Structure 1
Amino acid sequence: MNSEKRNGLIGMRVIATLGIALYHFELSSPFVEGKQIMSTAYLFVEFFLVMSVFFMEMTLSRKEKTSHRVIVGRFIRIWPAYIMGLILLQVMYAIKWFSGNYIAWLKDG
């Protein structure tokens, strides 16, 4: 598949991602009007998953890459972001609910 077609498909996946993010933003913000527009946001999720599986199949269909190499490569790419997210989540909890007092947060359980 040439890069122009692939870029178009990636753009469609980006639009689906933005639709999902907008839906989550509307759920968390009580002052945003227009919740009726995003009532079918589950379609964005389904479309995003279909596109992701398509790209995964394209990656696996290349003869030089085995599924083992693809999985290891993705794990190496995602693992640092996952660990950083876990650390930042704990820091945000401590700052938001316990005003930065980690000891009180740990004692609270």
Structure 2
Amino acid sequence: MNGLECPQCGAVRIVKNGHAHTGRQRYLCRICTYQFTLDHIRPPVCAEHVDWVDRLLSDRVPHREICRVVGVSRTWLRRHLDARIEGAPHCSPPPSR
């Protein structure tokens, strides 16, 4: 199919497989069954939204509610939380007696 290669395994047995929720054409690799879209571009989350998310997190708002209100995906929120945890200073364990 027009020289398409699977980004997962590199095979060329690619078929059309419906459309994503954004309307973009989805493809399926017949070898490894990996599904993908071409030129997948996700716009970055603006700084105001990141600050808003951080404020909602500090107010202990549930994660699903944050995603719904701010308009970010749960995957993005998980990655944001992981990045914040990695950057946070860790306390040293208390001395043993």
Superposition TM-score, scaled by structure 1 size: 0.28
Higher RCO (Cα < 8 Å, 6 or more apart): 1
Superposition TM-score, scaled by structure 2 size: 0.31
If each structure's helix is expressed as a fraction of its own residues, which one has the higher value? 1
If each structure's strand is expressed as a fraction of its own residues, which one has the higher value? 2
